[in-house]
Structure 1
Amino acid sequence: MKKNNFLYIIIFLLISAAHIKTAADDNKLRGRIVEKSSEGTVQPVAGAVIFWNGSNSGTASDESGEFELPFQKGGGYLIVRMAGYITDTIAVQNPAFLEIQLTPGSFETEEVTVTATQQASYIDFLDVQNKLVVTEKELRKAPCCNLSESFETNPSVDVSFPDAITGLRQIEMLGLSGKYTQSTIGNLPYFRGLLSTVGLTYIPGSWIKSINMVKGIGSVVNGFESITGQIDVELHRPVNDGGKKANLYLYTDYDRRAEGNLYYKTNVAENIDVITMAHLSGRRFKSDNNHDFFSDSPDFMLGSFMQRWDGWLNNEWEWQFGYMYVSDNKSGGTISNSANSYRYTADNAQYNINGKLGFVGDEDALNTFGMIWSFNHYTNKSLFGIRDYAGTERTGYLNFIYQMTDENEVHKLRTGISYFFDAFDETYLNTNYKRTEKIPGLFAEYAYLPVSELSVVPGIRVDFSNYYGTVISPRLHIKYLPSEDLVLRLAAGKGFRSASIFSENSALLFSARKLFISPSTSFGYGLDKEEAWNFGFNSTYYFYFYDLPGTFAVDFYRTQFVSAVISDIESDRKEISISSVKNGAYSNSVQAELNFSPFARFDMRLAYRKMDAQQLIGGGWSERPLTSSDRALLNFAYADKPYTPNTFRMVYDLTVQWSGKKRLPSGGYSPSFSVVNGQLTGEFSDGFSVFVGVENIFDYMQHDLIIDYMNPYSDTFDASVIWGPVLGRMIYAGVRLGY
């Protein structure tokens, strides 16, 4: 009966959305920033800063030159600024779509400094947080078949393989697992709980419009789980705002993996737009290039479907509704089916519904109200040799946000209430683990902007957990401009989360170790919450190198745990001992990154990061195992011609990643290594390109990926000690087609 009621609710929401009659738009001003080349063709300008005269807030144009910002009732003067162009001021009386043509020339500044450049990724100058915006241009430097493969050119995120069997990738930020980074889609929770690892593969790269990455503690408005940062994925929107109406992506590689992605936008009513997205990928081929009798990657079949609706009502309300379904099946392990074979299978299913509702209050649009909600249901059944696991998670999320701004935009207050529901039902080796978390919360965030050079944003959350009681999470962000080409940021705050030990330690199940939990509480797994403080500093300098823009950024972050859940695989090599440890971990991260163009159409990125991540094991401090303390990245991108919509050009991308040594759980250190990736893209027109590339050009792989692979059921079998590349050289090709 409950399932039928749930189905009726979905049908009712869809029918209601389809019959909403909306009035004429618009509380949004949309437009496109362009320039005219010497040949007379029009091309987009990315990274231009657009803001209303007299306002401290604004936006930046994306890769297609497009922008969107709230329309100022009664109109006003819109200012557009961009490095290397003459600042333009436009009188705007209504929210009609604008196309603004910039003229190359000298760059002047009075109150507002340039906030971005035409780089493929850039630090958002306007944001008080240290936020990196990754555009589609950056994502196209690599195949980026899914989100887990979208960080290969990013020095702030480490990507690695947790085991030698699943083919999954995991991410790390500030030297800590990705579970401490709040990962969302449109600020809605998604990549968490049982989905924390596998969920990254469920979002195809061609669905992504941009990725917003915040380093350090996040805003209290977005929840309590952000500790080391936030990764928010912005998918393509339903509204056809001058971008591609339809897009097709096809991919294949030497390992016989095939993939196809599609999205299509349509207008179903005067102010109702819909985007439909579909994905299908798979592999039906087992390879064993390292001759350990285990398949290098599992066979799999993954299909997903998503639809998102956007609409306006009565010139005051904006609503969004979306749903998604994913089916994922994997099969791996040993190549043969002998009596001593080791099988890995995983059958996953996930569906999600979500929505947003926004209201612009008074006539000057200074008071606004918003509500966002989502419901997610995920099931997983897996087999690790002879160990079976089954898990179900149901997650509900609701967030009400009210924002007040004074007329001079010096004071801004965002406050609201949230509710988080998370129900787990897991069975491992016939032992059942259940927990249901209910966490209502209150939050407030005050922004003080006395002058354009200073922003101070304190915030606080108070959450009421049925397990942990009242948890208070204060946070503070400060941005200061000592000069028009230098930005300083400070951040500090606390976050907390609940551990999901099976999904977060699934790689360790590919070993002979037995799982033990040292309980410290009477609920859930018997573990306390994970809670940590994060402190950070960022300095970003904007400069010109022969009239071409560049940035140099340095940041330092420290994460200090009040309580950490630690998986100890060192005290006893036959056990996985999981326990809550007070003040049991910390990490320090220092990173320097240089982005500049030595000459036209040639972009360079050089970055180096130093890490110190420690955890408390057996009463003593030790380096976090399998974590590199040093990492360097070089990225080069070159286009042989300026971009024009219908002119063929070649784009060349090369990325070099160097990882320093990593401490091994059994003692000693791994060697350092480098991985080189390259890609060639032929852009035939604005909507048609073909790419070919090679990942791991020099075929570097970790030797002896699986310990005692000849005896998968022995006491020494282990496929979880991975410090280097699992896959060797991979040749791939693909097509991008859009109109």
Structure 2
Amino acid sequence: MKKYIFIVGLLFPYALLAQTILGKVTNDKKEPLNGASIHWLDTDLETSTGDKGEFEISSKDISNKKLIASFEGHSSDTIEITNQTFVVFKLKKENILNEVVIKKNREKATLSNLIAIKTEIITQKELGKAACCDLAGCFETQTTVQPQTTNVITNSKELRILGLSGIYNQVLIDGFPMIQGLSYTYGISGIPGTLVDNIYVSKGANSVLQGFESISGQINVETKDPDTTDKLLLNAYINNFEEKHLNANYAFKKAKWSNLTAFHTVQPANKIDRDKDNFLDLPQLTRYMISNKWKYGNEKDWGWSSKIGLKFLNEKRIGGQTFYNSEKDQGSNSIYGQTVNINQPEFWAKTAYKFNDDNKITLFTSSFFQDQKSYFGTVKYNAQQTNFYSNLQYEVNYSQKHLLKSGISFRYLKLNENIGFTDTTLPRTYAGNYIRNEIIPGVFLENSMSFLKDKITWIAGIRGDQHNQFGFTITPRTLLKYDLTPKTTFRASIGTGWRTVNLFSENIGLLVSSRDIVFAEQLRPERATNFGVNVTQKFEIENLSGYFSADYYRTNFKNQIFPDYDSDPTKAIIKNFDGKSVSNGFQAELYLKILKRFEFKIGYNFLDVYREVNGNKQLLPFNPRNKVITTYSYKPLTNKFHFDVNIHWYGEQRLPDTKSNPVEFQRPYFSQQYTLVNAQFTYKFKKFEVYSGCENIFNFRQNQPIISWQNPFSQYFDTSSVWGPTRGREIYAGIRFRVLN
């Protein structure tokens, strides 16, 4: 310390004049940390440490003088600056091994060499590069997740990973399974982008702690924390279709408590029909959402801590023919339309008690109820679902190399679906009341271990769950990471997963089309094994840093439920498929940051997703075999503005077989290739940000995607051949107003 005091004494007058803070970052063994991130709370001003852990950062015009230091695999630390000109951070190494791999910290993209699970993190900085009105739009700059439209008339979407339907990846909100069953169809659209803090995306086998369902991957959406977010955030957005979005977040703190209240609304667009098929290009959407999040204490500190969330969603979607009136034409057999009305209250809580640095117990509980009333042409679909989830978890760090987590879980689902027809002209036979009750208690155990001076990290987990109808199932998973060099990491994973089927909510297109739904047999749970490998290479030289990552994942299904649209164009046949069903996914990605101003990323995705039927390979529809995404960003050192462009190229996709239809209702067996280009410009004032952008700049569209749109009540009416954008070019503008805490 004498050395530090001497240096401070020499530099004190110069530091005052330059308004800078000098410092050093070390670990708890006083070893310097190279590449640690240093930033002022609630600002974009950031720097990083050099070889000796030293840094220098400007303090000019900083009102909230809380300086934060963070480093991969270590707990962050905050120092409040009063009169100091030199500070020393000592960061303690974390023991949690299963959360983060690829980290976009602030605007810098790095790859952690500590974590076993390959996880991409989409931060607020990354989300600011596109409009991101809701969760479905938060993946514009990301290669792994592909948003896919499931119903073009109401614009419902799913999030695909590894070319598999979104039902095979687990979507969590703050670690809770709130997107499940009935909420799967529209749930991802009910989360505004302004409420999202980080999105964690991982492919393949994951931790067993959150359940047995994730087969292709996991998406965990972390909402903003009350004690670290803006005190006030207002966001207003409008596009050229005149769809309007308004968001308001307000946060406050009092003693150990903090609170965030958020309001979100969407008001409907104009009626637009560019391709003259008499159907709206986008639905009339009205949404109101209010949420409240409480936080008590800090879970890293000893003692009690808690987070509590409340939310209510009201949503109405209206789509169909341009002259459809939802007030008087619901269920009409002469004017085609669809209406969906949703009300959903939900609650979740996470309460923990930390006994000491090595022992902690946590209780997770969540519940939601959804009431949906809807019409799809002459199909009336009303449904109610009640969900309850609980997880009691105990963790113990029984040595410096082992972290054991164990616990019990409980899931309850009650789903009541009522289907009727207002017209019986078509030979449809599936009307009736469908009731599901699931009770699933479970136990789990997961151990995280490190060897060879942390060069090898191994996570081994297993869980057992007792389903009230399908009996007991064991789900094992294991993940391995090996640091070949300090900047080169190899990872491998293998594990099983299973899930029960919610047929109508997960295949909403079945209710939309005129096909009859035929249940050939009783449906069993879907089961699969996934394994994958990944290698990442980080690099950093003068004025250039980045990473290269490549991975391969394979999913083998033991049983899969996939509606058969090909055998009969007038029917969707539902049955178990226990033959060969495979997904092969290869992805390569290169990220560069140049001169601290330019960011460039290019990613390539290859998908081979198929089933073998009677010895013949049958590609599954709506998967581009080849896809390329390229992103460009420019931000000057002043951070006054940034300009972002992303380009998506989609290869051809196999489409449902329509060769048995009359010629006028047939479609090609494969889609065409296409490219989408999006751009956004953002300019920052002191408390304001204004942004404007354009999606699908070159206005590529799939014209008249609906089969038999001329007669929507005929047996050939089908909306399932949508493979590309249908609304065309979208121009938007918005404004954000922030008051920092």
Which bin holds the TM-score, normalised by the shorter protein?
0.7 to 0.9
Specify the code of the residue in structure 2 equivalent to 1:416: G
1:509 CA displacement: 2.6
Pairing 1:511–2:499 present: no
**Matches of 2:463 and 2:30, distance apart in 1:** 32
Counterpart residue number, 1:331: 318
1:141 CA displacement: 0.6
Deviations 1:688-733 (A, max 9, x none): 2100000000000012311111110112111221111111000000
- Identify which range, 323-332 or 702-711, moves more after superposition: 702-711
**Matches of 1:589 and 1:37, distance apart in 2:** 53
**Residue 562 (structure 1) aligned to one of 555, 558, 564:** 558
Counterpart residue number, 1:275: 260
The DSSP-based 3-state class of the residue aligned with 1:661 is coil
**Aligned 1:198-597 pairs, distance under 5 A:** 198-239=186-227, 241=228, 243-267=229-253, 269-312=254-297, 316-337=303-324, 340-362=334-356, 365-407=357-399, 409-429=400-420, 430-450=431-451, 451-519=453-521, 526-597=522-593
The DSSP-based 3-state class of the residue aligned with 1:295 is coil
8 Å contact from structure 1 (residues 319, 357) kept in 2: yes
**Matches of 1:431 and 1:678, distance apart in 2:** 48
Pairing 1:720–2:720 present: yes
Deviations 1:11-62 (A, max 9, x none): xxxxxxxxxxxxxxxxxxxxxxxxx9999577999xx99964499x999869
| Alpha-carbon distance change, 213 to 387 in structure 1, aligned in 2, over 3 angstroms | same
**Matches of 1:555 and 1:49, distance apart in 2:** 33
Deviations 1:392-416 (A, max 9, x none): 1111000011011034x21111000
1:286 CA displacement: 1.0
1:310 CA displacement: 1.1
8 Å contact from structure 1 (residues 111, 452) kept in 2: no
Counterpart residue number, 1:608: 604
Specify the code of the residue in structure 2 equivalent to 1:435: R
The DSSP-based 3-state class of the residue aligned with 2:150 is coil
1:673 CA displacement: 0.5
8 Å contact from structure 1 (residues 211, 233) kept in 2: yes
**Matches of 2:178 and 2:729, distance apart in 1:** 32
The DSSP-based 3-state class of the residue aligned with 1:206 is helix
1:130 CA displacement: 0.4
- Identify which range, 160-169 or 658-667, moves more after superposition: 160-169
**Matches of 2:721 and 2:561, distance apart in 1:** 20
Across the aligned residues of Structure 1 and Structure 2, the Cα RMSD in angstroms comes to 3.3
| Alpha-carbon distance change, 433 to 111 in structure 1, aligned in 2, over 3 angstroms | closer
**TM-score scaled by length of structure 1:** 0.84
Pairing 1:660–2:651 present: yes
1:620 CA displacement: 4.1
1:91 CA displacement: 13
1:466 CA displacement: 0.7
8 Å contact from structure 2 (residues 681, 693) kept in 1: yes
The DSSP-based 3-state class of the residue aligned with 2:563 is strand
Deviations 1:228-252 (A, max 9, x none): 111111111122x4x4211111100
Deviations 1:671-694 (A, max 9, x none): 110000011111113x42100000
Counterpart residue number, 1:4: none
Counterpart residue number, 1:634: 630
| Alpha-carbon distance change, 115 to 379 in structure 1, aligned in 2, over 3 angstroms | closer
8 Å contact from structure 2 (residues 538, 547) kept in 1: yes
Specify the code of the residue in structure 2 equivalent to 1:690: V
The DSSP-based 3-state class of the residue aligned with 2:156 is coil
Specify the code of the residue in structure 2 equivalent to 1:692: S
The DSSP-based 3-state class of the residue aligned with 1:717 is coil
**Matches of 2:313 and 2:345, distance apart in 1:** 6
Deviations 1:233-279 (A, max 9, x none): 1111122x4x4211111100011100111111112x42111111111
Deviations 1:57-90 (A, max 9, x none): 99986997689xxxxxxxxxxxx99575642599
Share of identical aligned residues, percent? 30
Instruction: State the number of aligned residues.
Output: 663
Deviations 1:657-681 (A, max 9, x none): 0000001112621111000001111
**Matches of 2:632 and 2:16, distance apart in 1:** 26
| Alpha-carbon distance change, 618 to 123 in structure 1, aligned in 2, over 3 angstroms | farther
| Alpha-carbon distance change, 60 to 272 in structure 1, aligned in 2, over 3 angstroms | farther
8 Å contact from structure 1 (residues 121, 135) kept in 2: no
1:282 CA displacement: 1.5
1:583 CA displacement: 4.0
Structure 2: gaps spanning 5 or more residues:
1-13, 56-67, 87-92, 96-100, 421-430, 658-667
